[in-house]
Amino acid sequence: MKDPRALILYSDYLSDIAVPVLNKAGIKYFASKIDITVSIDEKLAKIYPSLIIIECYRNKKENLRLLKKCITAFKNSNIVFVTESGELNSCIKLIKAGADEVIFRSEIAAKINLFKELAGSLNYKKSAVENDSQNVANIGSWIFNMEQNELFWSDITKRLHEVPENYAPNIEDAINFYNEGWSRDKLLGSFNELTQTGKKVKLELPLTTAKNNKIWVSAKGEAQFIGEKCVRLFGTFQDITAQKLLEKQLRDSELKYQKVVEASSDIIWEIEIGTAVVHYVNINSAKTKSFQEFRLGRFLRLIHDEDRSRFIKSMRNNILNPELNTWNCQYRIKNRTGNYVWIDDNASIIRNREGKALRIIGAAKNVTEKKNYIKKVENQNAAFQKISWTQSHILRSPVVNILGLLGLLKAELKANTQPKEVKEIKEIISLLDFAAHKLDKTIKETVKQSSEALEVIESEGFLSSNPTISIEEGTFL
């Protein structure tokens, strides 16, 4: 009989009452009279049954001995004992020894559904426990009898392949569901190794369903050996398309984040509230591209004494205020060379639904050059202001005096009537008046130009040249 899934071991009556039940259930079987002189291994090597139905001996020790032989020969078979006596202690001993079920002869006809379930799966007890969780997780199962070349798919496995419930799978069609190329090659290579070495298989592969839908699946497999011969493969099958899509989104997101990070000159840092540990990465460091960590206390000690209390106070206030989700602070911090550098620090505060801060993620930019540039501009402003003041006060003072003296000379000229002297004085006054007014005009224009230059510098001078700051190794920490 081709591909029996049940083995009946009888001594008297069991074959007569079990065969009609198995036929009604559509379970293929092989019946063999119990002969303790025949090796159980030999029978199982021919049958590879999922279900073994054994007629109880009157000798209780022989029952336990037979059970042990069956378990040793094929540990994944489901074993049912049929008894006439129904002695409780004997039944309990069989169950404790590894039997899956002990039923009475009189109730065997009513156990048709039990036999169907036992014949359709390996490790019945384990499957019964996992059945609910697998349904929830949408995990199907499969069994491949290598001797008879028959493949069994559970209902979930059929549903995931989008085939009808009455679909009868075969190994060739099952392989062809996997995309041609690396996916199919990986499947074949892994399962060939499984049949040869028994190494468990766990694969994640793309597959095209019967309705031409593209999905990702997790296929797991194990092997059952009798001696050195692989007789059966079995495992699970799960749709992981949603998981794969999420992984792709995360990879895309990480790639975008990495590109942003690589284009920045910042130090990226993170603090888990309550841990007092700072995780950071120096983006422009030739040595560091992954996160490192150090204690928050050490970090605070590196901040300049004049800036430390302001830093702590501003961060604490923003953390404790549930309405604030950002933080900014500029401060000086000592680098590895012992010099202080200016940092412009901006961060986002991650909170839970209650507004409690959970994490702070920030970017610290070295703005030392910018600070020095601003300082330089401020010094230039001061110099221009001094020049302007000198021009408007120091230089114009003698001019004012000259103009005042000219006024006196003009008054004297009116009082003097000597023609010759008057002519000479007029010439002198004319020359002095021209020179004084020309000098006064020049000073006024210079003061005006200086004032205009100051306005330009103050409003946009340093903003028009904002250098890109590169954070070198050791600049921040």
Tell me whether domains 138-244 and 264-366 share a fold: yes
Cβ count near 317 (within 10 Å): 11
List pLDDT tens digits, range 147-203: 778 888 888 899 999 999 889 899 999 999 999 999 999 999 999 999 999 899 999
**Range from 12-16, 223-227, 471-475 carrying the lowest mean pLDDT:** 471-475
SS3 call for 140? strand
CA–chain centroid gap for 111, Å, is 50
Task: Give the pLDDT of residue 273.
Answer: 86
Q: Look at residue 459 in the predicted model and tell me its pLDDT.
A: 59
Enter the pTM of the model.
0.41
pLDDT tens digits for 61-70?
888 888 888 8
What pLDDT is stored for residue 207 in this prediction?
Answer: 93
Please compute the mean of the pLDDT values over residues 93-120 and round it to a whole number: 82
Q: Report which DSSP code applies to 178.
A: B
How many whole angstroms separate alpha carbon 369 and alpha carbon 467?
Answer: 8
* Terminal Cα-to-Cα distance of the chain (whole angstroms): 79
| Residue scoring higher pLDDT (334 or 399) | 334
Instruction: Reply yes or no on whether the pLDDT at 217 is more than 50.
Output: yes
Query: Given 3-state DSSP classes, what are the helix, strand and coil percentages for the chain, each rounded to the nearest 5?
Result: 50, 25, 25
Q: Which of residues 454 and 218 earns the better pLDDT score? A: 218
Q: What is the pLDDT of residue 190?
A: 93
- 1-10, 141-150, 234-243, 454-463: the lowest-pLDDT one: 454-463
Q: What is the pLDDT of residue 267?
A: 79
What percent of the chain stands above pLDDT 70?
A: 70
Residue 77, pLDDT > 70, answer yes
310 compared with 295, residue with greater pLDDT? 310
Pick the CATH number of 138-244 from 2.40.30.10, 3.30.450.20, 3.40.50.300, 3.20.20.100: 3.30.450.20
Burial of 352 (C-beta count, 10 Å sphere; 0-12/13-18/19+): exposed
What local confidence, expressed as pLDDT, does residue 118 receive?
Answer: 77
Rounded Cα distance between 432 and 167, Å, is: 119
Express each pLDDT in 21-54 by its tens digit.
999 888 888 888 876 555 666 555 556 678 889 9
Mean pLDDT of 400-406: 70
- CA 76 to centroid of chain Cα atoms: 39
- pLDDT value of residue 256: 54
pLDDT in tens, 106-118: 888 888 888 887 7
Residue of higher predicted confidence among 316 and 58? 316
Instruction: Using pLDDT thresholds of 50, 70 and 90, give the confidence band for residue 124.
Output: very low
Which helix (DSSP H) or strand (DSSP E) does residue 280 occupy? strand 277-282
Let me know the angle formed at the C-alpha of 364 by 307 and 288, rounded to the nearest 5 degrees.
125
Highest mean pLDDT among 235-244, 255-264, 442-451: 235-244
Looking at CATH, the fold of the domain delimited by 264-366 is given as: Beta-Lactamase (3.30.450)
List pLDDT tens digits, range 274-303.
877 777 766 555 444 455 677 888 888 889
Pairing relationship of beta strands 292-295 and 326-334 according to DSSP bridges: unpaired
Which pLDDT belongs to residue 374? Answer: 79
The answer to whether the beta carbons of residues 412 and 425 sit under 8 Å apart is: yes
What local confidence, expressed as pLDDT, does residue 158 receive? 92
pLDDT at 283: 53
Once rounded to an integer, what is the mean pLDDT over residues 390-401?
64
6-119 under CATH 1.10.10.10, yes or no: no
pLDDT, tens digit (0-9, with 9 covering 90-100), for 405-439: 677 777 766 766 566 666 766 777 777 777 777 77
pLDDT at 1: 37
Domain boundaries, the chain: 6-119, 138-244, 264-366, 376-461
> Which residue did the predictor score with more confidence, 321 or 118?
321
Looking at per-residue pLDDT, the higher value among 113 and 383 belongs to: 113
Is pLDDT at 448 greater than 90 in this prediction?
Answer: no
Closest listed residue to residue 347, CA positions, set 359, 331, 336, 333: 359
The average confidence (pLDDT) of the chain is 77
With cut-offs at 50, 70 and 90, classify the pLDDT of residue 126: very low
pLDDT for position 288: 44
Residue 218 predicted with pLDDT over 90: yes
Separation between Cα atoms, residue 341 and residue 473, nearest integer Å: 13
Three-state DSSP state, 51:
strand
The DSSP output letter for 141 is E
Q: Provide the CA 38 distance to its chain's centre, in angstroms.
A: 58
- Looking up tokens 């293929």 gives 28
